[in-house]
Amino acid sequence: MKTILPNNCARFIGTAAVLVCALTLIGFAQSESGADAGVNFSGVVRYENNAPAQFVEVELWTDGEASWRTITTTDRMGKFHAGAPCMVIQYRINAAGYRPVYGRVDMSIKPCRVLEWVTLKVDPKSAQNKKEVPAAGVIDSRIAGIPPEAKVEFEAGQLNLNSNSYSDAIPHFEKAISLYPRYAEAYHLMGVAHLQLNHGPQAEAALVKAIEIEDRMPQAQYLLGVLYAMTSRSNLAEKPLARFAELDPQNPEAHFELAKVDFALNKFLDAEVQARTAIKLKETKPGVYVVLGYALLRQKKADDARRAFQQFLKTNPSGPMADDMKSLIAQIDQRTDKR
């Protein structure tokens, strides 16, 4: 079956355009809803022996269709802070060797403040469970080796990042790295700051270095994969996105991004599998059905593609691509009738 992509769909499927949108939806940028000033969402993350979980990534986003999203990192006391909008906020905490923690908090009622206490529990299925739970203040040799003055610079940069002062954050991360060259977390957040400022090459260099130092950083892998794909390097994007999916297997975004990359690489069956996995994991972005539908069309599975496009319309009946999807479904029906 010859498939003609409507204009909006072509823009959606095109690698660069798709992943520019994806980068926006990662949501390190502020949405119209905006985050409240200050640090109204706070939390404390600890291990089962009450040791603070130092430098663990915490991802926060608004409920439903993501319009605001941010990543922060716990400090040496296991505490984290972020300025969040007065909405229902979801959060996810991933630490290698420990069970992922997911939460949802309704902070839509003034004064829109919340304090969450989280305990990380060893994942018995992980190879990391062979290691003992860290003693107080000790995570691993690399983390333990971070000098206090580097931590101070990192935390200053993190505060600037959380308050959207991205240009101010970068010098602090650079200083932290100069004091401790193996500071993967500083490279990661410096990459985030550069992304916010549209400094693509600098962001890429920082994220590559973060992963070279510490491979077990799911969000750094994700951002690097998206950045590669956004710059028409889907062949490079596949590896970090696959690692992201490995580190965070229950995250539907990992599989959605892989579906888009596989489609760009003409690996249509793989794109279908990844899109279906994302849907199974409750991916909320309706675009996953568009990727699935086109992957199916390229495999000449017109009936299955039609169902995918119909599901898109069911979840997004009045979106900007609705008319294109209706037209495409009509084309599929017309060709089916002519058989």
pLDDT in tens, 173-204: 999 999 999 999 999 999 999 998 999 999 99
For the chain, the three-class secondary structure string (H helix, E strand, C coil) is: CCCCCCHHHHHHHCHHHHHHHHHHHHCCCCCCCCCCCCCCEEEEEEECCCCECCCCEEEEEECCCCCCEEEEECCCCCEEEECCCCCEEEEEECCCCECCEEEEEECCCCCCCEEEEEEECECCCCHHHHCCCCCCCCCCHHHHCCCHHHHHHHHHHHHHHHCCCHHHHHHHHHHHHHHCCCCHHHHHHHHHHHHHCCCHHHHHHHHHHHHHHCCCCHHHHHHHHHHHHHCCCHHHHHHHHHHHHHHCCCCHHHHHHHHHHHHHCCCHHHHHHHHHHHHHCCCCCCHHHHHHHHHHHHCCCHHHHHHHHHHHHHHCCCCCCHHHHHHHHHHHHHHHHCC
Number of separate domains in the chain? 3
- Do 194 and 238 lie in a common domain? no
**What's residue 26's pLDDT?**
37
Q: With cut-offs at 50, 70 and 90, classify the pLDDT of residue 253.
A: confident
**What's residue 241's pLDDT?**
93
Whether 335 is in a domain gets the answer: yes
Between 129 and 56, where is the model more confident? 56
Dihedral in degrees, nearest 10, Cα atoms 10, 274, 189, 57: 150
Q: Residue 190: which CATH number?
A: 1.25.40.10
- Do 38 and 23 lie in a common domain? no
Whether 161 is in a domain gets the answer: yes
Whether 177 is in a domain gets the answer: yes
- Do 109 and 89 lie in a common domain? yes
Domain termination residue (choose one: 182, 214, 246) = 214
Q: Average pLDDT of the chain?
A: 80
- Do 22 and 43 lie in a common domain? no
Q: Residue 59: which CATH number?
A: 2.60.40.1120
- Do 210 and 312 lie in a common domain? no
Q: What is the mean pLDDT of residues 269-278?
A: 94
Whether 305 is in a domain gets the answer: yes
Q: With cut-offs at 50, 70 and 90, classify the pLDDT of residue 282.
A: confident
Q: With cut-offs at 50, 70 and 90, classify the pLDDT of residue 131.
A: very low
Among residues of the chain, what percentage have pLDDT more than 90?
33
**What's residue 59's pLDDT?**
86
Whether 130 is in a domain gets the answer: no
Whether 312 is in a domain gets the answer: yes
> Residue 129: is its pLDDT beyond 50?
no
Domain termination residue (choose one: 188, 214, 240) = 214
Q: What is the mean pLDDT of residues 137-154?
A: 79
- Do 319 and 247 lie in a common domain? yes
Q: What is the mean pLDDT of residues 307-313?
A: 91
Q: With cut-offs at 50, 70 and 90, classify the pLDDT of residue 145.
A: confident
Whether 131 is in a domain gets the answer: no
Q: Which of 27-41, 199-213, 285-299 has the lowest mean pLDDT?
A: 27-41
Q: With cut-offs at 50, 70 and 90, classify the pLDDT of residue 290.
A: very high
- Do 302 and 255 lie in a common domain? yes
- Do 253 and 298 lie in a common domain? yes
- Do 337 and 234 lie in a common domain? yes
**What's residue 134's pLDDT?**
45
pTM score > 0.95 for this model? no
**What's residue 338's pLDDT?**
59
Whether 224 is in a domain gets the answer: no
Q: Which domain holds residue 194?
A: 138-214
**What's residue 199's pLDDT?**
94
6-40 pLDDT, tens per residue?
434 443 444 333 333 333 333 333 333 344 445 68
Domain termination residue (choose one: 70, 97, 123) = 123
**What's residue 236's pLDDT?**
94
**What's residue 259's pLDDT?**
94
Q: What is the mean pLDDT of residues 268-293?
A: 91
- Do 21 and 85 lie in a common domain? no
Q: With cut-offs at 50, 70 and 90, classify the pLDDT of residue 106.
A: confident
